[in-house]
């Protein structure tokens, strides 16, 4: 049977669905959230899980060592950045093979980040979706919001800050939208004794004053940039290019030139690894459906990556549709974007007929970014993942319910 989850419930998290072994009438669902905001709105009729029939999946080779996911990814950057990115890639690969680094990271994730995060059974939401026969999905929440800093961003930030220190860098530069990556980076730098500069758009600073204050309390210098997250990202990259010998650009998104997308996805994949293990402990089988909100994609890939090769597990992402897809004011890059190059990588992109960036919009702070993960772009093209949208109004209606 289908799992009836409303698109608007899922702007802030992930979802996982599993059918109980030997029982065709029950589906188990796990929602893995950054910040849980799930409401039970009577009369909701948005069905994004219409069937548990597996979609057709095209097989396309990925050369991750070169940062390629099918045709997506790559390094579309000035020659001056190639050497720096190659050095970063070598250090990243070395760290992955270094048992001392991995042990230090595991300790930091346990004692500083607070992993593993709980897998919480959402009993009331589960009961809401039961039909007259008592059949329906069992829904669980993967509580990423309980990580230090209040979001999944710290998983990647602490690991990359460790790499920065390993490379001898004293200063870390980052960009943030909603402020979650900014807080996580500031916290990681505070732990490791690194200087920290965060670039943040003025529009986002107005909406996220609490995170702005927390970044400063953690010792970070916050530089304001006119605009939103995409503008802050551009300014952070420009600043880093001028100080590459002494600073480290700590990206929190799975976008940009290789190896940045692969690094962030690797360090966020702890979410999916824990989910698989917890699912086996809770009900003895992997989930059937995973669902996550999609901005640029770190949250979604953190959950999805562990299960990409499990073709019987559906991967579903939900993007912010703003004022509606037909309005032109949205952040639904995978739903309405075209292929293009932005911030050093080939992916789906919100652009006009002349290839100029279309200003994205979403009520979700931090979602106003015109690009998206090259790996998610690949998963869309191959049919391995499905993507849906939710408008601002749907999100607001559900929040108020």
Taking only the tens place, the pLDDT of each residue in 166-179 is 999 999 999 999 99
Q: Which long-range contacts (CB under 8 A, 24 or more apart) does 336-341 make?
A: 337/370, 337/372, 339/71, 339/72, 339/377, 341/76
12: closest CA among 29, 27, 32, 30? 32
How many Å from the N-terminal Cα to the C-terminal Cα in the chain?
A: 27
Q: Can you read off the two tokens belonging to residue 337?
A: 């974007």
More confident position, 367 or 317: 317
Q: pLDDT per residue over 353-371, tens digit each?
A: 999 999 999 998 878 889 9
Q: Is the peptide bond before 377 cis (omega within 30 degrees of 0)?
A: no
- Helix H, strand E, coil C: the string for 304-316 is HHHHCCCCCCEEE
Global pTM value: 0.86
Q: For the segment 16-38, what is each residue's pLDDT rounded down to a tens digit?
A: 554 444 444 455 555 655 443 33
Which of 141, 123, 108, 127 has the alpha carbon at shortest distance from 37?
141
* Whole-Å CA distances, 295 to 112, 209, 220, 320: 26, 20, 24, 8
């Amino acid at each position: 049977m289908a799992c009836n989850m409303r698109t608007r419930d899922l702007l802030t998290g992930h979802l996982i669905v599993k059918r109980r072994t030997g029982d065709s009438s029950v589906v188990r669902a796990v929602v893995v959230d950054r910040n849980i905001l799930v409401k039970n709105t009577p009369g909701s009729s948005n069905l994004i899980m219409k069937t548990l029939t597996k979609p057709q999946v095209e097989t396309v080779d990925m050369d991750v060592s070169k940062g390629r996911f099918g045709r997506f990814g790559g390094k579309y950057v000035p020659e001056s950045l190639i050497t720096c990115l190659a050095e970063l890639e070598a250090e990243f690969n070395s760290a992955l093979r270094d048992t001392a680094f991995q042990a230090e990271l595991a300790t930091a994730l346990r004692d500083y980040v607070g992993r593993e995060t709980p897998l919480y059974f959402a009993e009331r939401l589960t009961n809401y979706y039961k039909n007259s026969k008592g059949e329906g999905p069992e829904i669980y929440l993967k509580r990423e919001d309980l990580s230090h800093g209040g979001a999944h961003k710290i998983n990647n930030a602490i690991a990359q800050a460790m790499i920065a220190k390993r490379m001898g860098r004293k200063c870390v530069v980052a960009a943030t939208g909603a402020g979650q990556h900014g807080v996580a980076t500031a916290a990681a730098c505070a732990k490791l004794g690194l200087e920290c500069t965060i670039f943040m758009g003025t529009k986002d600073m107005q909406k996220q004053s609490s995170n702005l204050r927390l970044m400063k309390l953690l010792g970070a210098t916050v530089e304001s940039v006119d605009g939103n997250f995409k503008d802050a990202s551009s300014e952070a990259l420009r600043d880093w290019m001028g100080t590459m010998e002494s600073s480290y650009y700590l990206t929190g998104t799975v976008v940009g030139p290789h190896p940045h997308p692969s690094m962030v996805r690797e360090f966020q994949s702890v979410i999916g690894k824990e989910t698989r293990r917890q699912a086996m402990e809770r009900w003895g089988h992997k989930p059937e459906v995973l669902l996550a909100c999609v901005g640029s994609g770190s949250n979604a890939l953190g959950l999805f990556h562990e299960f990409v090769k499990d073709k019987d597990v559906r991967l579903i992402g939900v993007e912010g549709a703003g004022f509606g897809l037909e309005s032109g004011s949205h952040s639904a890059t995978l739903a309405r974007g075209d292929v293009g190059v932005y911030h050093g990588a080939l992916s789906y992109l919100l652009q006009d007929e002349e290839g100029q960036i279309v200003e994205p919009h979403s009520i979700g702070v931090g979602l106003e970014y015109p690009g998206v993960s090259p790996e998610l772009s690949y998963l869309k093209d191959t049919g391995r993942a499905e993507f849906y949208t939710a408008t601002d109004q749907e999100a607001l209606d559900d929040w108020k319910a």
